[in-house]
A and B are shown apart, each in its own frame.
Chain A
Amino acid sequence: MTLERIPIRVEADDLPMSGNAPAVLREIGELLHRLAEEGVGGAIDLRSLPFLPGDRVWLEERLGCGEVEISLQAGGLSTFSETRFPGVWWVVHRNPQGAVVSEQVEVTRVPDIIVADPNDVRNGLANLNDLISGLS
């Protein structure tokens, strides 16, 4: 059972905000600028920030949804959702039980982990060749 499934009612009238979210948005801006200029982005670990519930919602609303949504099944589900700013990805890694193990904003053209590794490609090729040679 994941935490999200426990019905927790937040009693505050409005979701409280710490004021840290705008700073994070600015940092994302910096990273994206670097990606645009030098081709190297970066990542921000969302779970280690002192965020109140309102901060997350605020940030999510600003970043919005883009065109790409990737899901990865590797030791639990991971989702990579491009925001409405190309190059800015909202990344959530889960464990096999479905609990979130890390959550980041990644600024990159394509998240590293998605790209097929040359070794894996080679292994895959070998397997495929086996399969093909097995064809009569």
Chain B
Amino acid sequence: MTMNKNAKLLENLEWQGVSRRTFLKYCATLASLMALPPSAGRAMAEALAQAKRPSVIWLPFQECTGCTESITRSHSPSIEGMIFDMISLDYQETLMAAAGHQAEEALHKAMQDNMGKYVLIIDGSVATGLDGAYSCIAGRTNLEALREAAQGAAAIIALGSCAAYGGIPKAKPNPTGAVAVSDIIKDKPIVNIPGCPPIPVVITGVLAHYLTFGSLPELDKLGRPKAFYGETIHDRCYRRPFYDQGKFAKSFDDEGARKGWCLFELGCKGPVTYNACASVKWNGGASWPVEAGHGCLGCSEPDFWDAGGFYKALSMPADPLKMTAGAALAGAVAGVAITVANRAKKGAAKAAHETTTLADLEK
């Protein structure tokens, strides 16, 4: 792109034919998605208009490109697309035209030119097994690449459940020794944007926050922006009234399912999943998994892939009970054994008992 890197954001947008009102509308939408008051939309617009385009470097590690798909396939030209016009995406393997040595050069140039200032986006987990040899790009392990790129980064965005928690690669038995970005990098601000994949607008929201306020948004204990991960799916679910009334679909095609009743019994993990699907929705706000009739899998929580099965209700045992039958047997045996012992004692007492005769008493 031939945009002037030093121009203000709004100027760049205007140059592209984006009107101020379009921009305001975008900010208003973004503010409402981030659960900020409408006045913040205005403030955001003012700050964003003055912001400079930051350099962004995006490195893919052990991943499936689903996260990239999620963001690039969002309805375009979209508000997500717009935020990407606000940044300077200097390295993104899937999207950039350059390949091979050229790509590597672009990466290093971007890192040098923006030392200490660029935002580093990581998708995918980091393989640590065999010194990281399970996943390499241009002959270097992800582990090495991450350490190097993190050094000059102002902030890191761990995009998707893999980068945030280790993800599917970390599923038992974790053959590649996959870990999260935050397991390796300890000295940089990291935002986790988990989800499998994450909601596109969340990443743009975080970028917008960074552009607007020059800082990362407020994070929860798992490093997730509170604006999007502050409430559970269940809290915001439109099927919630049915949950409270005790109206549950028992199978995916029964009457309850057709009437849109709660999917708890079909394994919905909404009650323990912090994400914005229920309010932001997917595919440009068209719908979202629970609205489409499938329970939440819990994809924005750590280890959701090993949490006892997608179709098991949360209140059900996560694993089949293995020891209970044995324990019942052991209990019965213990009971019987004590009975036998008690009886034996009684028998012994009886045997030891001497009958008293009248003669004994008269002695």
Contacts and interface: CB of A to CB of B under 8 A. Distances in A.
Contact of B21 (A2, A47, A113): A113
A48 B20 contact: no
A47 B285 CA distance: 9
B241 A93 contact: no
Contact of B241 (A3, A19, A99): A19
Interface stretch (A22-30, A61-69, A71-79, A126-134): A71-79
Contact of B32 (A17, A72, A102, A112): A102
B32 A75 contact: no
Count class of interface residues, chain B: 35 or more
B259 A43 contact: no
A49 B281 CA distance: 12
B22 A47 contact: no
A112 B37 CA distance: 14
B42 A119 contact: no
Interface residues of A, number: 38
B28 interface: yes
A127 to B, nearest CB: 13
A52 interface: yes
A128 B235 CA distance: 52
Chief secondary structure at chain B's binding surface: helix
A82 interface: no
Contacts of A76: 25
A74 B258 contact: no
A11 B259 contact: yes
A58 interface: no
B29 A51 contact: no
B311 interface: no
Given A11-B258, A50-B236, A16 B241 contact: yes
B199 to A, nearest CB: 13
Interface in A94-111: 95-97, 99-102, 104, 106
Interface in B113-142: none
Given A48-B279, A72-B21, A74-B19, A101 B285 contact: yes
Interface in B1-54: 18-22, 24-26, 28-29, 32-33, 35, 37-38, 42
A103 B200 CA distance: 19
Contact of B25 (A16, A18, A52, A74): A74
A45 B29 CA distance: 10
Nearest to A114: B21
A102 B28 contact: yes
Interface of B: 18-22, 24-26, 28-29, 32-33, 35, 37-38, 42, 75, 77-79, 82, 235-238, 240-242, 258-260, 278-281, 284-287
19 contacts: A12-B259, A16-B241, A42-B37, A43-B37, A47-B32, A47-B279, A47-B285, A48-B32, A48-B279, A48-B280, A50-B236, A75-B18, A75-B77, A75-B82, A95-B79, A95-B284, A101-B284, A102-B29, A119-B20
Interface of A: 2-3, 10-12, 16-19, 42-43, 45, 47-52, 72, 74-76, 78, 93, 95-97, 99-102, 104, 106, 112-113, 117, 119-120
| Ranked 5 nearest A-B pairs via Cβ | A48-B279, A75-B22, A43-B38, A74-B21, A74-B22
